[in-house]
Amino acid sequence: MKYLYIICVLLCVYSCREEEPTAKPHTLKAAFANSFIMGVAVNKAQYTSKEIDATNIVLKHFNSITAENSMKWQYISPQQSVFDFADADAFVNFGIENNLKVIGHTLLWHSQLPEWVHAITDSAELRNIMYTHIDSVAGRYKGTIHGWDVVNEAFHNDGSFRDTVFYKYMGQAFIEEAFARAHSVDSSAELYYNDYNMTFEGKRNAVVDMIHNLKNKNIRIDAVGMQGHWNLEHPSLEDIETSIIAYTNAGVDVMITELDISVLPRDENPYEQELPEHIENKLSERYKSLFQLFYKHRNKISRVTVWGVHDGQSWLNNHPTEGRTDYPLLFDRNYEAKNCVYAILNIF
Ligand code: G3I
C-alpha cells in the first residue's frame, strides 16, 4: 500500500511537470526558436574567437551570423582579378563549425565597392564583371550560405533608383540579372533584397514593384530585409507593421536585418560616460515593443538580425560623426546582457 502511494505521488509529480508551461527561455535563440531565426552581425575578432567574450555571446544567443564587413566586394576583390577570401572563409567556417545559419552580405552594393569597379563605364564590361563577382563569391560558398543579400540599397527613399554604377550603365535590369545569376550559381541559397528606410512609402512601393517584376519573370527572391537602423521614436510601430504586411502581400518573407536602436540625438554626444537610467528604460521598452511586433508577425518574418554583438562595436559610434558613444545593441561594452535582453525575454 505504502509503495502504491509513493508510485501515485511520483506519477502525479511527473504529470504535473509535463503540464507546466514551458520554462521561461534564457537565450534569445531559444525564445524565438519557433518563430524566426535570431541573427547577429560579427566582425573578424569575433568569428576568429579573438574577442572570446563576444564570441561566447554569439554562440549562446544566436543561431545565425552575418559578416559586418568581411564579404563586401572591397575586401574580397580590392583589385580586378585579385581575390582575397581569407576572412570570408574564416567567417563561413566559423558558421559551419558552430551550426549557425550563414548569411552572405552582400553581393551588389554601391558602397564599399572597389575603385576599379566604379571606374567602369561600359555596360557589357560591367555585366561581365558583375557576373564574375557573383560566380566567384556565391560559387565559392555554394551550399553553405543560407541566404544572400543579392542587392543592397538600390533605391532612394522616394523610390527612385539610386544612381549607382550598376544602374547608370546597366539600367534597372541589373537587379533581375543579379538575382538570376545568383540563383544559377547556388540554387540552394535564399535570395534577398536588403535596404534601410523600408518603411518610407516611396521606397516601399518601389520595392513592392521590384518584387512583382522579379516574380513575373520567374526569378527567385525569397525575402526582403528591412534594415532596422532605427531610433527610440522612429519609425513608428504602425509604419513598420504596414511595411511588413505590404512586403508579405507581394509574396516574400520579411527579415528585420541590421537592427540597432540609436539613443543619440543626431548631432550630439550626451552620454559619453554612461547611459542615464530613464533612457535605458526607454531603450528596453522600444526593444520590447519591437519584438512583440515581430512575434505577432512571426508567420511573415523569417529572421531578425541585430547589427553587432555589443555597444562598443557598433558602427553608430562613428556615424554620422566619429567618436560618439552610442548604446544601440543588446549587450553592453562589458559583454553583459542589457536590460533590453531581459525585456525581450520577458515577453514570454
Ligand atoms: O578596413 C579599415 C581598416 O583598415 C582601418 O584601419 C579602419 C580605420 O577606421 O577602417 C577600416 O574600415 C572601416 C570598415 O567599416 C571596417 O571596420 C571603414 O572605415 C568603415 O567605414 C566601415 O564601416 C562599415 C560601413 O558599413 C561601411 O559603409 C560598418 O562597419 C558596417 O557596420 C556598415 O554596415 C552597413 C551595411 O553593410 C549595409 N547597411 C548599412 C550599414 C551601416 O552603414
**Count of structural domains, the chain:** 1
Residue 6 maps to a domain: no
Tell me if the pTM is above 0.85: yes
The values of phi and psi at residue 82, to 5°, are -110, 125
Pocket flag, ligand 1, residue 112 (CB < 6 Å): yes
**DSSP at 101:** E
Query: Is the link from the previous residue into 106 a cis peptide, with omega within 30 of 0?
Result: yes
Residue nearest to atom 20 of ligand 1 (CA): 315
Q: Which residues contact 244 (CB under 8 A, 6 or more apart)?
A: 226, 254, 293, 297, 300, 301
Rounded Cα gap, residues 67 and 344, in angstroms: 24
Pocket flag, ligand 1, residue 69 (CB < 6 Å): yes
**277 is a catalytic site residue:** no
Q: Are 161 and 172 in contact (CB under 8 A)?
A: yes
Angle at 294 between CA 258 and CA 99, to 5 degrees: 60
Residue 12 maps to a domain: no
* pLDDT (tens digit per residue) in 288-342: 999 999 999 999 999 999 999 999 999 999 999 999 999 999 999 999 999 999 9
CA of 337 to the centre of ligand 1 (A): 24
Residue 80 maps to a domain: yes
- The parent domain of residue 299 ranges over 32-345
The one catalytic residue in 68, 153, 177, 190 is 153
Residue nearest to atom 12 of ligand 1 (CA): 69
Residue 42 maps to a domain: yes
Residue 21 maps to a domain: no
Pocket flag, ligand 1, residue 318 (CB < 6 Å): no
Residue 293 maps to a domain: yes
Residue 341 maps to a domain: yes
Cell 509604419 belongs to 239
The values of phi and psi at residue 77, to 5°, are -140, 75
CA of 278 to the centre of ligand 1 (A): 31
**241 is a catalytic site residue:** no
CATH of the domain at 78: 3.20.20.80
What pLDDT band is residue 83 in, cutting at 50, 70 and 90? very high
